[in-house]
Amino acid sequence: MYQERLELYRKLEKEYNSKILVYITSDRNNMEAQIAADVIDCFISQLDKIGVCKKISLYLYTRGGDTAAAWNIVNLLRMYCDELQVIIPHKAHSGGTIISLGANEIIMTKQATLSPIDPSINTSLNPLVPNGMGNTFPVSVEAVKGYLEFAKEELQIRDEAALANILIKLSDYVHPLVLGQVYRSKAQIQMLAEKLLQNQVTDPEVTKKIIAFLCSESGSHDYTINRREAENDLGLKVSKPTELQYNIIKEIYDNISDELQLNKAFDLVEINGAYAVRRCLLESLQGGADYFITEGECLHGEDDQGQHMIQNRIIFNGWRHEESSICNLEMNAFVNEEGCYERDSEFQT
């Protein structure tokens, strides 16, 4: 599927007069992925092959992930270009919005959305999910703030002793160290947003308004921000693609969606034997395709009581590289002889 997208990447590079780098984290049900620190080395490898250039366009689809990794990615990208553009075909939420804030310009389609950037904390000290096999609840910065504001604003509790008891009650369910991390994360995200916005917003008052909305005033982490709101209400530097650009952006997204099966839940009931599922993509004309893949084996059988059982064994979780085989006259302008490789067909999605 990567080979099918090469011509589309070439067209998009021509349209935006830039180098295209595509980063996708899947939100396929039961096979979700997030922005994480393990992609940084892949970014470095891709960017080294692209080289330092005037402009990079990051084609981005993600539901978010690690804040520190998102910060690292956007700063890394800016070390390789004078101008950073983010192209959003659909979703660039949470950590994806953080990356977008660091761009000089955001290209948003009609269906593209950003989201609030208030972080959630998930550590081993977080509350446990009942019967959740050791999984923990993420603690949202805004959920903690909302709990305390509910007591003060809605219930009109003013007595300091009563408010102290409310905080103590909260600490019975959420570890005090997690609450401390929540406060630190809120301060950190506001500082990062202010630094990133310097690339596209010059008015300090507009910057404050954007940070206030993205960090708290939106009311919910699930709130989505469309193109009109991002440009007109928030004041971000947003542009819409031309009809031709939109068609190319949409065709790339549809092709990737088909490959990652974004609209089809991963269901072990439907699998009998070996499987390999791609969950993240990072690819370019110059650097080939890196992909995070989960490989496993699913076996169906019956237990001693005759009940149907499924045994799932994960064999591999990690990044692999698929190198381009596009050495022809048309593509030589984009990939030199040293960049031509044989395609790795060992694993299929």
Residue 333 banded pLDDT, cuts 50, 70, 90: very low
Where along the chain do its domains lie?
A: 2-115+224-260, 120-184
For residue 224, how many other CB atoms are within 10 A of its CB?
14
Closest of 77, 74, 122 to residue 97, by C-alpha:
74
Whether the CB-CB separation of 199 and 99 falls below 8 Å is answered with no
Q: What confidence score (pLDDT) does residue 335 get? A: 40
Q: What confidence score (pLDDT) does residue 258 get? A: 96
Q: At what angle do helices 243-260 and 2-16 cross, to 10 degrees?
A: 160
Residue 256 burial (CB < 10 Å; 0-12/13-18/19+)?
A: buried
The residue-averaged pLDDT of 228-232 equals 94
Q: What confidence score (pLDDT) does residue 134 get? A: 62
Domain with residues 2-115+224-260, CATH architecture:
Alpha-Beta Complex (3.90)
- Count H helices, E strands: the chain? 10, 10
Closest of 101, 103, 36, 102 to residue 63, by C-alpha:
36
Give the range with max mean pLDDT: 17-21, 113-117, 132-136: 17-21
CA distance readout (Å), 62 to 27, 35, 146: 7, 8, 26
29-45 tens-digit pLDDT: 999 999 999 999 999 99
Token duo for residue 224? 């989505």
Cα(217)–Cα(219) distance, rounded to whole angstroms? 5
Residue 172 banded pLDDT, cuts 50, 70, 90: confident
Radius of gyration, alpha carbons of the chain: 23
pLDDT above 70: residue 121: no
Residue type, 130: P
Q: Higher pLDDT residue, 114 or 221?
A: 114
Cα(308)–Cα(9) distance, rounded to whole angstroms? 46
Q: Which residues pair with 72 in a beta bridge?
A: none
Q: What confidence score (pLDDT) does residue 124 get? A: 74
pLDDT above 50: residue 349: no
pLDDT above 70: residue 150: yes
Q: What confidence score (pLDDT) does residue 132 get? A: 54
235-261 tens-digit pLDDT: 999 999 999 999 999 999 999 999 999
In the DSSP assignment, the letter for residue 158 is -
The residue-averaged pLDDT of 139-156 equals 74
73-112 tens-digit pLDDT: 999 999 999 999 999 999 999 999 999 999 999 999 999 9
Q: What confidence score (pLDDT) does residue 162 get? A: 79
Tell me how far apart the terminal alpha carbons of the chain are, to the nearest angstrom. 10
Residue 264 banded pLDDT, cuts 50, 70, 90: very high
175-210 tens-digit pLDDT: 777 777 777 777 788 889 999 999 898 899 999 999
Cα(279)–Cα(292) distance, rounded to whole angstroms? 6
**Reading across the β-sheet that carries 53-61, which strands appear in turn?**
238-239, 105-108, 81-88, 53-61, 19-25, 273-284, 288-302, 308-322
Token duo for residue 325? 């085989």
Cα(236)–Cα(210) distance, rounded to whole angstroms? 8
Residue whose structure tokens are 């390789």? 80
Residue 133 banded pLDDT, cuts 50, 70, 90: low
Q: Alpha helix locations (H) across 17-108?
A: 40-50, 67-78, 95-101
Q: Higher pLDDT residue, 219 or 204?
A: 204
